[in-house]
Amino acid sequence: MTRAQSSAAQAAFTVFFGGNEFLNSRSLKDMQKACIAQRPDAEVMELEAGQTDPYEFDEAVSPSLLSTSAVVVLNNLQDVSEELADSLLRFVKEQPVATEDSSVVLASHDGSVKGRKYVTALKKAGAVQVNVDKLKYESDQEKFVQREFARYGRRIQQPAVKRLVEVLGSRPAEIAAMSQQLCFDFDENPITTRTVMQYLDETPEVTGFAVADAAVDGNTADAVLKLRQAIKRGVEPLALIGAIASKLRSMGKAAALQSGRVSADEMHMNSWVLKNATRQVRGWSSEGLGACIEALAHADQEAKSTSGDPAFALEQAVELISRKGVPLISH
């Protein structure tokens, strides 16, 4: 935990400033979870700075019949109005330090010049500013990879770190998703370069994740081409199946959340992954998703059988996914 993050844990108002959009959002969400853990009875609210008036904010942070405290997320602080900014300043001045019985506000700012004067004023009043990294330099990207594996109590060999950075270094959201998947699929500790290369070839276009994205987007020809390229380059069918299955699992969870069968807290999903899966599951039926999972399970059996044909089974599964699970109509 950095000095800024340590200070933020004790502050009543924290601004997560700039940096990569994914990292900004996740840093805020991590702090939100910590604040909720300290205040299990607190109300949890999310507001848009550009759409919130002073009365709504004051009501959000004030004690209610249900709870004496609240954990309030204020998105896009750069869009704050002068009137709302005055309410934010008043809140910070009255309560610069958080207690277990007090409300806390976690705000995000995109780092632009817009609204920056209000961030400066809030800091002077007692708020804490956490500057989010852009991961501009290779050394920062490598440290980020190591931290991602540490999140799951795992380690990764340095050559494997470098390979991840070489291919995905400028895309931290994809690094996070890849790290999570590797930790989910493999028990070895530390993760080796050989294992990473099962999911990550020299060109990212031939990974299982790229195949899954193309298929889910309905690009049948592109998905099949990427699949054949991956197999030709020596990517194991099981690794491809694992990556595609991860995509379908995420979409299944997103569908369950939309239907109300589970809550967001029960999902245990990265917010960026959930947002992407929610977008991709649009237009799917539960029957179609189930059919694709069954087709992928069949490909998995073929890959584990000495007499099976996993490449053919995978192609069939990928084609089915590209049609959202709708079978071809034979005449």
Inter-residue contact 277 to 254 (CB < 8 Å) = yes
Q: Is the pLDDT of residue 210 over 70?
A: yes
Q: Are residues 75 and 146 in the same domain?
A: no
Mean pLDDT calculated for residue range 100-107: 89
Task: Choose the final residue of a domain: 110, 131, 152.
Answer: 131
Could you tell me the pTM of the whole model?
A: 0.61
Whether 265 is covered by a domain: the verdict is yes
Tokens standing for residue 297: 């399970």
CA distances to 92, 180, 219, 273, 294 from 288, in Å: 51, 26, 17, 21, 10
What is the C-alpha separation between 149 and 179, in angstroms, rounded? 6
* Phi, psi dihedral angles at 53 (to 5 degrees): -100, 170
Q: Are residues 119 and 232 in the same domain?
A: no
pLDDT of residue 206: 56
Q: Is the pLDDT of residue 245 over 60?
A: yes
What is the C-alpha separation between 170 and 136, in angstroms, rounded? 8
CA distances to 1, 50, 130, 171 from 53, in Å: 34, 8, 25, 35
Whether 327 is covered by a domain: the verdict is no
pLDDT digits over 5-48, tens only? 455 567 899 999 998 888 898 899 889 989 988 888 888 888 99
The CATH number assigned to the domain holding 11 equals 3.40.50.300
Q: Are residues 182 and 311 in the same domain?
A: yes
Q: Is the pLDDT of residue 202 over 70?
A: no
On average, the pLDDT of the chain sits at 85
Q: Are residues 212 and 302 in the same domain?
A: yes
Inter-residue contact 211 to 223 (CB < 8 Å) = yes
Whether 7 is covered by a domain: the verdict is yes
Closest CA to 299 of 287, 311, 289: 311
Helix-helix angle 82-94:54-61, to 10 degrees: 30
Task: Choose the final residue of a domain: 131, 150, 177.
Answer: 131
Whether 330 is covered by a domain: the verdict is no
pLDDT digits over 252-271, tens only? 888 888 887 877 667 666 66
The CATH number assigned to the domain holding 186 equals 1.20.272.10
Whether 296 is covered by a domain: the verdict is yes
Q: Is the pLDDT of residue 303 over 90?
A: no
Q: Is the pLDDT of residue 216 over 80?
A: yes
Which of 7-11, 66-70, 81-85, 143-147 is the least confident region? 7-11
Q: Are residues 207 and 188 in the same domain?
A: yes
Higher pLDDT, 173 or 296: 296
Which of 154-163, 288-297, 302-311 is the least confident region? 302-311
Inter-residue contact 12 to 102 (CB < 8 Å) = yes
Tokens standing for residue 299: 């490909």
Whether 59 is covered by a domain: the verdict is yes
Q: Are residues 289 and 177 in the same domain?
A: yes
Q: What percent of the chain has pLDDT over 90?
A: 35
Domains identified in the chain, total number:
2
Inter-residue contact 36 to 66 (CB < 8 Å) = no
Inter-residue contact 91 to 13 (CB < 8 Å) = yes
Whether 329 is covered by a domain: the verdict is no
* Residue the block writes with tokens 């399970």: 297
Q: Is the pLDDT of residue 285 over 60?
A: yes
Whether 28 is covered by a domain: the verdict is yes
Inter-residue contact 115 to 50 (CB < 8 Å) = no
Range of the domain at 276: 138-322
Mean pLDDT calculated for residue range 69-95: 92
Task: Choose the final residue of a domain: 82, 106, 131.
Answer: 131
Q: Are residues 197 and 261 in the same domain?
A: yes
